[in-house]
């Protein structure tokens, strides 16, 4: 039912200030999405799940409150993690959902700037236009324009997209930087508060989920950095 990763030794070369508080010789339990129903069925039938979670220190899962509750009750000692790629995909899906909402809203005005910005250039909200790939240019309404300007134009018309882009960029930066729990918590809370300040109800699920799963997301970032460091040895 589950894939149990082999024991991982603590990455000794990592400085103490950057090292997650993991112990050596502990297992990570990955729970695939297609196993959630089976796990919940076993729990509801009062099946003994202790063997499934035996010697497990880290549980890797997706966003599912019912499964999380089962894990807490069955393996209260384990640290539950949501990996960065799961969070990033959820943020991207929220951006896509909101862009599709805007596109449909202005679909009766196909020649308007409101429609063209979202219909043709919404992917700018998913990319980092940093210094290493600038300048970048494209054609927009018959003119050659810089992509940074074009993205700022989207922000000007739709302020919510800027907050969504900020959330995605903040999370990506958080995953790239050396892990410090205090600073990571501060960044997460700032990102969540920014999303809660959005006036659109179409993205309300995003800040609620990020807030509800904040601990598991931070655990996942620390776990991922540990795994990446181990694999580079």
If asked whether residues 190 and 127 sit together in one domain, one would say yes
- Same domain as 204, residue 116: yes
Answer yes or no: do 52 and 98 share one domain.
Answer: no
Identify whether residues 55 and 165 lie together within a single domain. Answer: no
Please check the confidence at residue 146 and state whether its pLDDT lies above 50: yes
Average the pLDDT over 153-172 and give the result.
Answer: 91
Residue 114 has pLDDT above 60, yes or no: yes
Q: Give the pLDDT band of residue 21 (cuts 50, 70, 90).
A: very low
Give per-residue pLDDT as tens, 61-80.
899 998 899 888 888 888 99
Of 125 and 138, more confident: 125
Task: Please check whether residues 28 and 72 belong to one and the same domain.
Answer: yes
Q: How many CB atoms lie within 10 A of CB 176?
A: 10
Tell me, yes or no, whether 33 and 100 share the same domain. no
Task: Dig out the tokens for 87 from the structure.
Answer: 């969070």
43 or 221, greater pLDDT: 221
In whole angstroms, what is the distance from residue 105 CA to residue 12 CA? 54
CA dihedral in degrees (196, 199, 204, 208; nearest 10)?
A: 10
Q: List beta partners, residue 59.
A: 29, 80
Structural domain total, the chain: 2
Question: Both 94 and 29 in a single domain?
Answer: no
Is 197 a residue whose pLDDT tops 50?
yes
- Report whether pLDDT(46) > 80: no
Q: Is residue 117 a contact partner of residue 157, using CB atoms and an 8 Å limit? A: yes
Query: Residue 31: what pLDDT?
Result: 82
Q: How confident is the model at residue 11 (pLDDT cuts 50, 70, 90)?
A: very low
In terms of domains, do 196 and 224 share one? no
Containing H/E element for 144? strand 143-146
pLDDT of 40 reads: 81
**If you average pLDDT over residues 149-162, what whole number do you get?**
90
- Angstrom distance (rounded) from CA 174 to CA 167: 10
Per the CB < 8 A criterion, the answer to whether 53 and 67 are in contact is no
Same structural domain for residues 75 and 188?
no
Closest CA to 156 of 126, 197, 199, 113: 113
Q: Are residues 93 and 208 in the same domain?
A: yes
Other beta carbons less than 10 A from residue 206's beta carbon:
24
Burial class (CB in 10 A: 0-12, 13-18, 19+), 49: middle
Q: What domain range includes position 63?
A: 3-82+216-231
Same domain? For 227 and 191 the reply is: no
> Is residue 141 within 8 Å of residue 121, measured between CB atoms?
no
More reliable by pLDDT, 149 or 18 = 149
Same domain for 66 and 167, yes or no, is no
Name the band, by pLDDT with cuts 50, 70 and 90, for residue 130. low
* pLDDT the model gives residue 5: 33
* Dihedral sign for Cα atoms in the order 34, 35, 41, 44: negative
At 8 the pLDDT is 34
Is 125:152 a contact under the CB 8 Å cutoff? no
């Amino acid at each position: 039912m589950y894939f149990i990763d082999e024991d991982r030794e603590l990455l000794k070369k990592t400085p103490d200030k950057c090292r997650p508080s993991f112990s050596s010789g502990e297992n990570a339990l990955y729970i695939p999405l297609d196993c959630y129903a089976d796990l919940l069925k076993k729990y509801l039938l009062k099946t003994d799940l202790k063997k499934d979670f035996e010697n497990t220190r880290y549980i890797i899962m997706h966003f599912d409150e019912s499964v999380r509750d089962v894990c807490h009750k069955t393996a209260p000692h384990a640290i539950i993690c949501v990996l960065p790629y799961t969070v990033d995909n959820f943020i991207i899906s929220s951006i896509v959902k909101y862009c599709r909402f805007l596109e449909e809203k202005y679909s009766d005005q196909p020649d308007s700037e409101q429609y063209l910005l979202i219909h043709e250039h919404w992917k700018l909200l998913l990319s980092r236009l940093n210094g290493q790939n600038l300048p970048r240019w494209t054609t927009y309404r018959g003119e050659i324009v810089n992509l940074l300007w074009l993205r700022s134009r989207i922000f000007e018309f739709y302020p919510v997209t800027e907050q969504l882009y900020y959330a995605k960029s903040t999370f990506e930066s958080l995953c790239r930087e050396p892990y410090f729990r205090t600073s990571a918590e501060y960044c997460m809370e700032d990102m969540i508060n920014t999303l809660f300040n959005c006036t659109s109800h179409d993205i309300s699920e995003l800040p609620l989920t990020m807030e509800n799963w904040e601990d598991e997301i931070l655990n996942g970032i620390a776990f991922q950095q540990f795994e990446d460091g181990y694999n580079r040895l």
